[in-house]
Amino acid sequence: MPKAPVTRNDVAEYAGVSTAVVSYVVNEGPRRVAPETRERVLEAIRVLGYRPNATARALRMGTTRTFGLITPDGGNPLFAELAKAIDKEASARGYVVLQTSADGDPVTEQAKIAELLIRQVSGLLLVAPTEDPDLTEVGIPVIAINRVLPSVSSVRPQYRAGARAGVKHLIEHGHRMIGLVIGGRGTGGRAPERELGWRDALRQAGLEDGPIARARFSRQGGYDAGRELLAATKRPTAIFASSDLQAVGVLRAIHESGLRVPDDIAVVAFDGTAETEYSWPPLTVVRQPLDRMAREAVSRLIDGEDAVQSLTYPTDLILRRSCGC
């Protein structure tokens, strides 16, 4: 027997006031209420165990104070960490986030967006959306993270500069043949900016391109790519991996081949999730400023800046052992 929920009516009755007064007390406005009355209402709320019904409030107010967050894959630590940062930021500002995963599938992604929209979310955060969904007419603020979309604002790390810095560091260690592991084969998208950054650094140093292995953004993809690079005719002495997951796979490929990191091959990765601090050896990484991106994304949704902008944030180079430091 699921006991009927206590409504604001019950509270009003118990306290001997009107429902309006209860509302004033609960919301601390928009009208003042006499201290004594206020006490009575508070008491009634306590006694009855009243909890306001946010759906009714949302219906009336037209806003749910809820954000929808769609990631391509909740199992990817990068997205998990990003989601955590967003949740934290949103919580701090009184919002709740409806988080869901699109499983890398554009049609699932579209369906999830629709699902969130009917639930009247106050804003939408799309992490690395696979396709460009039709977003001009949704009527709520939308922001893309880690990917730029034509019709909405976006927030992402300075991929190109970050990759350049990572590769440059490898060059400073004396490497002349630096391979690249990047997206492009299978699902998982590409990463043109990181590829450009890698090339920038090589050009600046007057080096020729090292071998490129294109693979999915996964540990397995990195493993395959690593094996490919190790088998290349001109085997690189260093590898720049465009994601943590791939770097971890590369590491495994290198270990299996009996080579040593960083002595035989150095590795630097892009992303910088927690996992990289405990790989063997610990990975030198170009870290995405997740907290800052999360803060900015949430701010824009709440404060409703409506000009379409694409914002980028500087990365951090974290030196650990895999580069030879």
Tell me if 308 sits within 8 A of 248, measured CB to CB: no
Q: In the numeric block, which tokens belong to residue 104?
A: 């890398």
Cβ(49)–Cβ(6) under 8 Å? yes
Copy the structure tokens of residue 47.
Answer: 């006694």
Identify whether the C-beta of residue 119 lies closer than 8 Å to the C-beta of residue 129: no
Q: How far apart are CA 181 and CA 188, in angstroms?
A: 13
| 204: contact with DNA by CB under 7 A | no
Verify binding: residue 315, its own copies, rule CB under 8 A. no
Kindly write out the interface string for residues 225-264 of this chain, putting x where it contacts its own copies by CB under 8 A and - elsewhere: -----------------------xx-xx--x---------
Which tokens belong to 278? 């405990």
Binding-site partner at residue 99 among DNA, its own copies, none, CB < 5 to 8 Å by type: its own copies
173 binds its own copies (CB under 8 A): no
x/- map, 35-54, DNA, by CB under 7 A:
-xxx------------xxx-
Token pair 């049609």 is at which residue?
Answer: 107
Residues binding its own copies: number (CB under 8 A):
57
Which tokens hold the place of 277? 């601090």
Residue 16 binding result from its own copies, DNA, none, given CB thresholds of 5 to 8 Å by partner type: DNA
Strand 96-101 with 66-71, pairing? parallel
Q: Tokens 């290198």 — which residue?
A: 254
What are the backbone angles phi and psi of residue 112, rounded to the nearest 5°? Answer: -65, -40
Contacts of 34 (CB under 8 A, 6+ apart): none
Residue of 14, 23, 73, 245 interacting with DNA (CB under 7 A): 23
Rule CB under 8 A: say whether 27 interacts with its own copies: no
Q: What is the CA radius of gyration of the chain?
A: 25
Distance of CA 228 to the CA centre of its chain: 30
d(C-alpha 73, C-alpha 101), whole Å: 5
Q: Does 140 bind DNA (CB under 7 A)?
A: no
Number of chain positions touching DNA (CB under 7 A): 33
* Partner that binds at residue 264, options DNA, its own copies, none, CB closer than 5 to 8 Å by kind: none
Rounded to an integer, what distance in angstroms lies between the CA atom of residue 16 and that of residue 135? Answer: 49
Binding flags for DNA, 47-86, as an x/- string (CB under 7 A): ----xxx--xx-xxxx------------------------
**Contact pattern from residue 37 through residue 76 relative to its own copies, giving x for each residue in contact according to CB under 8 A and a dash for the rest:** ------------x-xxxxxx-xx----x-x------xxx-
**From 3-11, 142-150, 266-274, 283-291, span contacting DNA (CB under 7 A):** 3-11
- Looking at beta carbons only, is 38 or 84 nearer to DNA? 38
Per 3-state DSSP, the chain is made up of helix, strand and coil in percentages (nearest 5) of: 40, 15, 40
Cβ at position 244, least distance to DNA in Å: 43
The tally of CA atoms less than 13 A away on the side-chain side of residue 166 is 40
Of 91, 187, 204, 309, which one interacts with its own copies (CB under 8 A)?
Answer: 91
- Which amino acid would we find at residue 150? P
Q: Per rule CB under 8 A, is residue 89 in the interface with its own copies?
A: no
**Is residue 83 part of the contact set for its own copies (CB under 8 A)?**
yes
CA-based nearest residue to 194, from 227, 167, 233: 167
Instruction: Give me the residues that bind DNA (CB under 7 A), please.
Output: 5, 7-9, 16-24, 26-27, 29-34, 36-38, 51-53, 56-57, 59-62
Contact residues toward its own copies (CB under 8 A) are 2-3, 5, 49, 51-56, 58-59, 64, 66, 73-75, 77, 80-81, 83-84, 87-88, 91, 96-101, 103, 112, 114-120, 137, 139, 219, 223, 248-249, 251-252, 255, 274-275, 277-282
